[in-house]
């Protein structure tokens, strides 16, 4: 049971850290974000999306 709790906490910290990095880096201008969705363009290209398109 303790292993499951550690894994869940680790996953939450990892995902939360990525989201926090994405928001802070695009807000401060460190990373480029053409469509202003707080996801850096290199992350969008990594998953196969075109960052220049607006929905």
d(CA 6, CA 10): 6
- 28 is a domain residue: yes
In this prediction, the residues of the chain whose per-residue pLDDT falls under 50 are: none
According to DSSP, residue 52 is labeled: T
Q: Is 52 inside a domain boundary?
A: no
Domain assignment present for residue 54? The answer is no
Q: What is the pLDDT of residue 35?
A: 84
What's the pLDDT at 11? 98
Q: What is the per-residue pLDDT for 53?
A: 66
Give the number of domains in the chain. Answer: 1
Token pair, residue 21, equals: 């990095």
Tokens of 30: 């460190």
7 within some domain = yes
Residue 54's pLDDT is: 63
pLDDT digits (tens, 9 = 90+) for 22-35: 899 988 988 888 88
Residue 55 falls within a domain, yes or no? no
Do the domain assignments include residue 51?
no
pTM above 0.85, yes or no: no
Question: What is the rounded CA–CA span in Å between residue 26 and residue 38?
Answer: 6
């Amino acid at each position: 049971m303790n292993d499951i709790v550690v894994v869940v906490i680790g996953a939450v910290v990892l995902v939360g850290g990525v989201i926090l990095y994405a928001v802070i880096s695009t807000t401060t201008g460190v990373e480029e974000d053409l469509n202003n969705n707080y996801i850096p363009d290199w992350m969008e290209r990594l998953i196969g999306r075109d960052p220049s398109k607006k929905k």
